[in-house]
Amino acid sequence: MNLYEQRASNVRRTWALVLGFLIVVIAVGYAISWYYGNPAILYIAVIIAVATNFYAYWASDTLVLSLNHARSASREEFFDLYTVTENLSIAAGLPMPKLYVIDDPAPNAFATGRDERHAVVCATTGLLAALSRSELEGVIGHELSHIKNRDMLLMTVAVVLAGFVAIIADIFLRMSFWGHGRSGGNKQGNALLVVLAVIGIILAPLAAKLIQLAVSRRREYLADASGALLTRYPEGLASALEKIGSYPAKMRSANTATAHLFISSPFGAKGAGAGGWIERLFSTHPPIQDRIRALLS
């Protein structure tokens, strides 16, 4: 499969995963509505989830930069970063994003912001020191592809849905202790449905989280392919990923809330998705070697 085919395939798979998210949400909402015979709890949960995540989306760049202790990058201090981003932004037809750096020896980078005109690209000082110009172009092309592909919007939708599922599941489980469930009718049938509803709602947040992680991993493959198309030199990004993935230590500001935004796991080589199947299942990123093989195939 070439880069063009991979890009189209990943777009289709990502939207399929988002559809799976919606199915989980609808199933949980139906189970709770049936159990209590009252959809008001569902409406309240929707309002809370949407309001919370709307604020997070609107201020996403500020929140993420603050969590990672980033500072503004000037053209004078980080000339290569500035000129590479400027040139690739023109090639991609994007407004020049704001540039930030994180003072950290671990090589990594991410993009954030609510849309193309409010986008941010941030790199660690370790990344800028370790990469050649062609490798840096590969990384910046990857991050600009996240912006152009509207990944930030898609990941926000995933966060909203995952948050929504977690909130309504928590409400349901708390209220279940009071025993205010559906009564009447076929008692045996109702008991079975109640058990199934409780099991489903307990497992729903886990399912939602797994789908969210899968969406994140698919977006990395898509950004790799799109970034390679932008620079016309997939070897540059492949070489950069090799260096980034081999760095053993985690970033000083690494945290699970923003880990999915980075080009590679900020938790070092052990968090780069190269472990057993369980580690891969809960990893925010696909294995580095799989990404390199896809770029060079």
- Give, for all 297 residues of the chain, the pLDDT tens digit: 555 665 666 567 667 766 766 677 677 777 777 777 777 766 776 676 667 667 767 877 888 899 899 999 999 999 999 999 999 999 999 999 999 999 999 999 999 887 889 999 999 999 999 999 999 999 999 999 998 887 776 666 666 666 666 666 666 666 665 655 555 544 444 565 566 666 666 666 666 666 666 667 778 998 999 999 999 999 999 999 999 999 999 999 888 778 888 999 898 866 555 555 555 555 778 899 999 999 998
**Adjacency order of strands within the sheet including 109-113:** 71-72, 98-102, 119-124, 109-113
Number of domain units in the chain: 1
pLDDT of residue 139: 98
Please say if 220 is a catalytic residue. Answer: no
pLDDT of residue 44: 72
Per DSSP, the residues of the chain read --HHHHHHHHHHHHHHHHHHHHHHHHHHHHHHHHHHT-THHHHHHHHHHHHHHHHHHHTHHHHHHHHTT-EE--TTTSHHHHHHHHHHHHHHT-PPPEEEEE--SS--EEEEESSGGGEEEEEEHHHHHH--HHHHHHHHHHHHHHHHTTHHHHHHHHHHHHHHHHHHHHHHHHHHTTT----SS-HHHHHHHHHHHHHHHHHHHHHHHHHHHHHHHHHHHHHHHHHHHHHT-HHHHHHHHHHHHH--SPPTT--TTTGGGBSS-TT-GGGSS-S-HHHHHT-SS--HHHHHHHHH-
Q: By residue range, what is the domain housing residue 257?
A: 1-297
pLDDT of residue 59: 79
Give CA–CA dist 113/60, Å, rounded. Answer: 6
Give the active site residue among 135, 137, 143, 220: 143
Give CA–CA dist 222/2, Å, rounded. Answer: 12
